[in-house]
């Protein structure tokens, strides 16, 4: 592909790939048999990547749209987290506009926290439990601003909860 390809886009060869440390930790090899994929020694696909795009218009009105994504299997994440003794915390925020709402603020905001532990367990926290709020109140203010201190506090509370 180059700039003269009518279906080509800039960046078509700029593939997203896992970091070299991750490829080394999971002993991944690159496979291009049916797309950009990184596989284990057992031929299990852990990461995959793809690009897409199109060019529209002519002359000075010509423009292109492009994008890319990278996917990781759940087992791949679990294996990586176990080797590195890490967990994944994701905060998802959503906002919805209500045109016919009677108040001044016509937006409704929702959020959820998703935690994937090193053993692959996934927990969805829609509302912070009172135990966590109370524990956060007891923390020193400078500890509340440190994500690792808050994370460790939540993990301790979760362990107590399961025992």
Domain extents for the chain? 20-84, 88-162
Q: Which residue has the higher pLDDT, 148 or 71?
A: 71
pLDDT tens per residue across span 21-48: 999 989 998 887 666 899 988 888 899 9
Instruction: Give me the chain's average pLDDT, please.
Output: 79
Q: How far apart are CA 81 and CA 59, in angstroms?
A: 50
Distance CA 78, CA 120 (A): 5
Indicate if the pLDDT at residue 1 is higher than 60.
Answer: no
Specify the pLDDT at position 11.
55
Q: Is residue 148 very low, low, confident or very high in pLDDT (cuts 50, 70, 90)?
A: confident
What pLDDT does residue 95 have?
A: 85
In tens, the pLDDT along 88-136 reads 888 888 888 877 777 777 787 777 888 888 888 888 887 777 777 777 7
The residues with which 90 forms a beta bridge, in sequence order, are: 114
User: Tokens for 78?
Assistant: 């679990």
pLDDT over 60 at 52, yes or no: yes
Whether 57 shows a pLDDT value over 60: the answer reads: yes
Task: Outline where the chain has alpha helix (H).
Answer: 20-25, 74-84, 130-138, 141-144, 147-162
For the ranges 58-72, 107-121, 148-162, which has the lowest average pLDDT? 148-162
Model confidence band, residue 143 (pLDDT cutoffs 50, 70, 90): confident
């Amino acid at each position: 592909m180059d700039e003269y390809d009518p279906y080509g886009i800039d960046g078509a060869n700029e593939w997203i790939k896992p970091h070299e440390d991750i490829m080394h930790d999971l002993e991944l090899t690159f496979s291009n048999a049916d797309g950009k994929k990184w596989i284990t020694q057992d031929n299990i696909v852990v990461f995959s990547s793809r690009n897409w795009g199109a060019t529209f218009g002519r002359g000075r009105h010509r423009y292109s749209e492009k994008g890319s994504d990278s996917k990781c299997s759940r087992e791949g994440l679990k294996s990586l987290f176990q080797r590195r003794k890490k967990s994944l915390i994701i905060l998802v925020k959503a906002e919805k506009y209500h045109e016919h709402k009677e108040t001044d603020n016509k937006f409704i905001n929702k959020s959820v926290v998703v935690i994937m532990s090193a053993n692959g367990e996934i927990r969805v926290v829609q509302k912070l439990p009172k135990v966590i709020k109370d524990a956060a109140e007891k923390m020193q203010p400078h500890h509340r601003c440190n994500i690792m201190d808050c994370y460790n506090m939540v993990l301790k509370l979760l362990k107590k909860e399961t025992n």
